[in-house]
Structure 1
Amino acid sequence: MKTFLRSTLAASFLLASALPVFADARTEAYVQTNASEVLKSLNNPKLTAAERTAAFSTYMDKFTNLDAVSNFVIGKYSRRFTEAELTRYRAAFRTYALAVYEYELDAYRGEAVVVKNSVDRSETDSIVNTVIKRQDGTDMDVRWRVQGKEGSYKVVDVALNLDGNLIWMAIEQRAQFIALLDTNNGSADALIRKIASMTSDLKSKTRS
């Protein structure tokens, strides 16, 4: 795990160092508005657990491009799966990804999302750096990778603070999923079973 984290952090550092440094107010505004809505769905005390999950999932479906993320995390295998396998895999991945984001972002409950700055990788690819302000003073850094043009922006990855390290979620999932596929002859069924097991384990966890 430590080796993986070091590799991920090194890759993130190289990515960041290669980025041109200039801000994009449109993607910043997009993240400001939508990230705030996502956090509100976790903060609403009037919602039951089921209602909160439903509201959170609705916002994340609008905010993120889960089909693009699902293709990214299996790399070359997105072109090797049959259409039927892709359909089943994407359904399993969507359920898992939403559960991961809800569980991890639940630790980031706060009063406000504040955009610090952003960096454009290209005309259609930006990293937006934010801070989630919390009442206890432990502000949390979150980075959002946004792709698309104005009117069609979507988040394709989120970097969260996990065990003291800022980790890109899709990059972490890609390493896990491709390793599993490589050792199972590219079996979509093996991956879907693993994803279902991971989803079940995650949903059984609760945060204090």
Structure 2
Amino acid sequence: MRWITTSPTKSFMLGMALFFGIAINQAMAQADALAFAQRTADNAVKELTDKGLSASQRVERMQKMIDTTFDVDAVSTFVLGPYASRATAEEFSEFKRLYRVYVAHNYAGLFTRYSNVKVKMTKETKRPNGDVIVDGMIRQSDGTQVDLRMQLRPTDNSFKAVDLHVEGVSMPLNHRKQFSSIIRQQGGSVKGLISALERLVGKLQQASTSP
């Protein structure tokens, strides 16, 4: 079984984009998407690059950010693609749980390698379906700039992210391709993907608690 890998810098940027949605005050609920994205990006940089955090603490913060920032049901459904309709309710629930943990562990450690990262959100574009596309840029300490795009979906009192792109690459789409390949190897079984994720998550959890 082959897991798709990316360079440390690009993986960090994907993680950065994914987790810049840290929970914010309810007063932000009425603010526009651009302000929401900028304020949450600033908070995420502060929280996740803290050198004083242990590996397990950083993972725990990421998991909370996923829950508060992303529409996990929508993203999980997209990532499973055509196989989502084949999954039982129990399988979908278990996949969603494992996917959340997998993403948190996969990117958490990358934040320890970078400092002085700045994010500037510059433009928002409303779509006919009500979603808002927010464009911006990640600036690294060496001056390198990386394009960032996040798709937000309005909720009753705030926003939830349903997609993000870094340098034109969609993280959920990358995972969809990766997981679809595994499911095909397992004969079209979502249960097979769940078993593969369980093994991988177990290794990631063990690594995060090792001294």
* Same fold, judged at TM 0.5 (above): yes
1:140 to 139, 142, 146: 146
Q: Does 1:84 pair with 2:86?
A: no
Measured after TM superposition, the shift of residue 68 of structure 1 is 1.2
Mapped partners of 1:103, 1:127: distance in 2: 28
CA contact (8 A) 1:41 1:56 kept: no
Letter in 2 for 1:39: V
CA contact (8 A) 1:108 1:132 kept: no
Letter in 2 for 1:144: M
Measured after TM superposition, the shift of residue 111 of structure 1 is 4.1
SS at match of 1:151: coil
Q: Does 1:186 pair with 2:188?
A: yes
CA contact (8 A) 1:57 1:98 kept: yes
SS at match of 2:32: helix
Measured after TM superposition, the shift of residue 104 of structure 1 is 5.9
SS at match of 1:122: coil
- In structure 2, the partner of 1:129 is 135
Mapped partners of 2:131, 2:115: distance in 1: 27
Mapped partners of 1:81, 1:121: distance in 2: 30
2:118 to 94, 105, 112: 112
Q: In 2 relative to 1, CA 105–160 (structure 1 residues): closer, same or farther, beyond 3 Å?
A: farther
Letter in 2 for 1:184: Q
Measured after TM superposition, the shift of residue 42 of structure 1 is 1.7
- CA-to-aligned-CA distance 1:2-42 (integer Å, 9 cap, x gap): xxxxxxxxxxxxxxxxxxxxxxx811111111222222222
Number of residues paired by the alignment? 179
Measured after TM superposition, the shift of residue 200 of structure 1 is 5.3
- In structure 2, the partner of 1:175 is 177
Measured after TM superposition, the shift of residue 171 of structure 1 is 0.7
Mapped partners of 1:116, 1:149: distance in 2: 22
CA contact (8 A) 2:151 2:164 kept: yes
Identical positions, percent = 28
CA contact (8 A) 2:71 2:160 kept: yes
Mapped partners of 1:194, 1:90: distance in 2: 14
Measured after TM superposition, the shift of residue 180 of structure 1 is 2.6
Mapped partners of 2:155, 2:146: distance in 1: 27
RMSD: 2.9
Mapped partners of 1:170, 1:26: distance in 2: 24
Q: Does 1:32 pair with 2:49?
A: no
Instruction: List alignment gaps of at least 5 residues for structure 1.
Output: 1-24
Q: In 2 relative to 1, CA 143–202 (structure 1 residues): closer, same or farther, beyond 3 Å?
A: farther
Mapped partners of 1:72, 1:90: distance in 2: 11
Measured after TM superposition, the shift of residue 55 of structure 1 is 2.0
TM-score w.r.t. structure 1 length? Answer: 0.72
CA contact (8 A) 1:38 1:60 kept: no
SS at match of 2:149: strand
CA contact (8 A) 2:123 2:135 kept: yes
Q: In 2 relative to 1, CA 108–199 (structure 1 residues): closer, same or farther, beyond 3 Å?
A: farther
- In structure 2, the partner of 1:74 is 80
- CA-to-aligned-CA distance 1:150-191 (integer Å, 9 cap, x gap): 723111122224xxxx31010111122223323433312210
CA contact (8 A) 1:96 1:196 kept: no
Mapped partners of 1:202, 1:137: distance in 2: 32
Q: In 2 relative to 1, CA 134–56 (structure 1 residues): closer, same or farther, beyond 3 Å?
A: same
Mapped partners of 2:159, 2:177: distance in 1: 26
SS at match of 1:128: strand
